[in-house]
Structure 1
Amino acid sequence: MSDDQPIYSIENLFIDLYATTVSVRAVDGVSFNVRPGETVAVVGESGSGKTVMTLGPLGLLPEGVTVDMKGSARADGSELLSIGSRQLSDLRGRYFGVIFQDPMSALNPMLKIGPQLARQARRFAGLSREAARKQAVSLLARSGIPDPEDRYNRYPHEMSGGMLQRAMIALALAARPRVLIADEPTTALDATVQAQILELIRQIQREDGIAVVLITHDIGVVASVADRVIVLYAGQVAEEGTAMDVLTRPVHPYTRGLLASVPDFRADDNVATREIPGLPPSQIRLEPGCRFADRCELVEPGCRKHRPPLQTISISANPHRVACPVVLRREGIAVHV
């Protein structure tokens, strides 16, 4: 596969979640892709649809949730939305590695860490029992876990939060995946451990050339790891571009609001961060128009009537898309026809 060809692609994806009496449009017509060796960060507030968009096509949403998915999600020549559950399980196991926000959601508390990794390697990488054990120890070491031979025989409750997350990374790599999905991998960790985990993910991506999809609510964590950033709001893409362009030349008012809310410890003490006013809209009863209209300082009457198109613009030599015609008009930003 050429490095220019997507290794995982989602096209015009809609995901509805159903409860007893209501339905929620969690993902609303989203398209994105990731290429070999590329790191794509999906950023947005809690409830924006990041996790549902990324893990839904893999069949990894919580049990008991009724889901209706339309559109396309393709990997390894297969359409994930239409293949059978057994095929999806096999593809997910050998093609995707997933780092969950809560390691205990993926690690069995009743089993020792090492055998869990070895079982994954035997099932999806086709290794012998001894080869799988050696790989499990090697992965623990590579993930920065000290004394991996000893940790191999430890239970999850015997390890700290940071060590558990490293064990989760080792588990995600056990089947030698081509795409690594990291769902809020640093949320419950202190700042020092967060930086270590992000650096570990970047190192693995660089050494193995795998694609990485990083899901996070904190736009401040993506600067050092992401090649591209997708800003998601209320189930729709608000902005997408290279990390450099999105972080230094944001266009959408929501992206600008996210960046303004990140503390800058280099700035003067009198410079305060700004919170985005209001709350995201209910996705149970969707209104026409821009989802961000009620929180936007630049809102115009037309914003509430029509969904803003996601347009390709010229702010640098790199591809950049944004869904805000008001900013484009006011700031004279050219649109590619």
Structure 2
Amino acid sequence: MNKLKKEPLFKVKDLVIDLYTEQVSVRAVDSVNLEVNAGEILAVVGESGSGKTVMTLGPLGLLPEGVSVDIRGQSQCSGQDLLNKPARELAKLRGENFGIIFQDPISALNPMKKVGPQLASQAVRLRGVSKQQGKEIAIELLQRTGIPDPEDRYNRYPHEMSGGMLQRVMIALALVGNPKILIADEPITALDATVQAQILELLKDIQCRENIAIILITHDISVVAQMADQVAVLYAGRIAEYGTMEDVLTRPVHPYTKGLLSSVPDLRSKRGENASGPAGITGSPPDQSSLLPGCRFVERCPVAQTFCSKFRPPLEVLPHLSQRHFVACPVAVESTIEQMEGEAYEQ
């Protein structure tokens, strides 16, 4: 008897997100499909403005105020639909399943309240415990996230703590509700290199010990190589390449992915002097308020053909290489297949 395929913990299908202000409308996310399993780290990588944060936080109702949002498609967690839910139901579902680690913890915490009581009040709200139990949970979480002398730090204000300690508090806050999924939105950008390594090690340890899924939003390829199981490369609201970390980083196919990798010197040197792809990416991303038909990357692509400006490339599995490696570029896929067939013929 065939085993039934296990349902992913989180998935989006044909997700489209349009943002509207009084002046302009933007197609921020355009027909995205991806999924995350329990205990897995999915890195969403791309340049600033590619739609990484909107794609992840939009379905959770966490976009900034003052922007009208139109979301279509499917977004599910543990089989439950996140879209088209009343605000109260969505907030409950979000609190039970997701923990959010924001890029700037100082703006996510109330500067007028001590950090410990902020954690304790969330424990009371999300776990339904008493105030004393909430305080005990808060101190335990501070200790669990590597904060020394947690009883003392419980009574500190945010401004009395370093950036690294505040990010640990932010991680503790994200863990209060015993989430199934952590969303880490550029969690180490404002930290120095030593603290960055410590925070990444902490996240990896949490993921391994508790089987929590992590969606890691980043533009740092070295972090992706260090942390990710799966990688989704996002460009102008569309996925350009999607697959395992090993496939995407060591056998990139899409010209945009190659460009991202070639812009990182240490990764480029590991791939060798003869690695294909441009040394970085020329030009700028397109204006997503006035997008043209066809491939979003066409004006910056070194292998673009005439039809690329008219034909929207679908995200398709790469034949002969991996059933979990998807690429949205028929030109690059054809070139890769020809190269592989040539290498097989020579052998």
Are 2:306 and 1:301 equivalent residues in the alignment? Answer: yes
Provide the rounded CA distance (Å) in 2 between the counterparts of 1:133 and 1:80.
31
CA RMSD of aligned residues (A): 1.8
Are 2:149 and 1:154 equivalent residues in the alignment? Answer: no
Q: Which residue pairs with 1:87 in the alignment?
A: 89
Provide the rounded CA distance (Å) in 2 between the counterparts of 1:323 and 1:196.
35
Deviates more, 1:133-142 or 1:312-321: 312-321
Deviation at 1:230, TM superposition (A): 0.3
Provide the rounded CA distance (Å) in 2 between the counterparts of 1:296 and 1:77.
38
Deviates more, 1:191-200 or 1:73-82: 73-82
Of residues 196, 205, 208 in structure 2, which corresponds to 1:206? Answer: 208
Q: Is the 8 A contact 1:3 1:36 kept in 2?
A: no
Q: Which residue pairs with 1:331 in the alignment?
A: 336
Q: Which residue pairs with 1:177 in the alignment?
A: 179
Deviation at 1:265, TM superposition (A): 8.2
Matching of residues 246-325 of structure 1 within 5 Å: 246-264=248-266, 267=269, 274-314=279-319, 316-325=321-330
Provide the rounded CA distance (Å) in 1 between the counterparts of 2:312 and 2:102.
33
Deviation at 1:112, TM superposition (A): 0.6
Deviates more, 1:101-110 or 1:299-308: 101-110
Give secondary structure in 2 for the equivalent of 1:223: helix
TM-score by length of 2: 0.91
Q: Is the 8 A contact 2:147 2:165 kept in 1?
A: yes
Deviation at 1:17, TM superposition (A): 0.6
- Equivalent residue letter for 1:58: L
Provide the rounded CA distance (Å) in 1 between the counterparts of 2:244 and 2:6.
15
Q: Which residue pairs with 1:130 in the alignment?
A: 132
Are 2:106 and 1:104 equivalent residues in the alignment? Answer: yes
Q: Which residue pairs with 2:58 in the alignment?
A: 56
Percent of paired sites with the same residue: 61
Deviation at 1:78, TM superposition (A): 2.5
Q: Is the 8 A contact 2:317 2:323 kept in 1?
A: no
Give secondary structure in 2 for the equivalent of 1:202: helix
Structure whose residues are more often helix by fraction: 2
Provide the rounded CA distance (Å) in 2 between the counterparts of 1:254 and 1:315.
21
- Equivalent residue letter for 1:78: Q
Deviation at 1:22, TM superposition (A): 1.3
Q: Is the 8 A contact 1:94 1:177 kept in 2?
A: yes
Of residues 19, 23, 26 in structure 2, which corresponds to 1:24? Answer: 26
Superposed CA deviations along residues 125-160 of structure 1, whole A, max 9, x for unmatched, are: 222222221111111111111111100000111111
Superposed CA deviations along residues 59-87 of structure 1, whole A, max 9, x for unmatched, are: 11111111111111111432211110001
Provide the rounded CA distance (Å) in 1 between the counterparts of 2:215 and 2:292.
30
Provide the rounded CA distance (Å) in 1 between the counterparts of 2:281 and 2:173.
37
Provide the rounded CA distance (Å) in 2 between the counterparts of 1:168 and 1:4.
31
Q: Is the 8 A contact 1:220 1:259 kept in 2?
A: no
- Equivalent residue letter for 1:132: G
**Structure 1, unpaired ranges of 5+:** none
Provide the rounded CA distance (Å) in 1 between the counterparts of 2:320 and 2:87.
43
Superposed CA deviations along residues 171-223 of structure 1, whole A, max 9, x for unmatched, are: 00011101100000011111111111111111000001011100001122111
Deviation at 1:266, TM superposition (A): 9.7
- Equivalent residue letter for 1:311: E
Give secondary structure in 1 for the equivalent of 2:227: coil
Deviates more, 1:38-47 or 1:185-194: 185-194
Provide the rounded CA distance (Å) in 2 between the counterparts of 1:216 and 1:51.
9
Give secondary structure in 2 for the equivalent of 1:14: strand
Superposed CA deviations along residues 215-263 of structure 1, whole A, max 9, x for unmatched, are: 0011221112111000000000000000011110011000011111113
Deviation at 1:94, TM superposition (A): 1.8
Q: Which residue pairs with 2:235 in the alignment?
A: 233
Provide the rounded CA distance (Å) in 2 between the counterparts of 1:195 and 1:86.
37
Superposed CA deviations along residues 256-282 of structure 1, whole A, max 9, x for unmatched, are: 1111111318959xx8x9331000000
Q: Which residue pairs with 1:113 in the alignment?
A: 115
Superposed CA deviations along residues 267-299 of structure 1, whole A, max 9, x for unmatched, are: 59xx8x933100000001111111111111111
Q: Which residue pairs with 1:41 in the alignment?
A: 43
- Equivalent residue letter for 1:290: C
Superposed CA deviations along residues 68-118 of structure 1, whole A, max 9, x for unmatched, are: 111111114322111100011111112100000111232111111011111
Q: Is the 8 A contact 2:253 2:336 kept in 1?
A: no
- Equivalent residue letter for 1:325: P
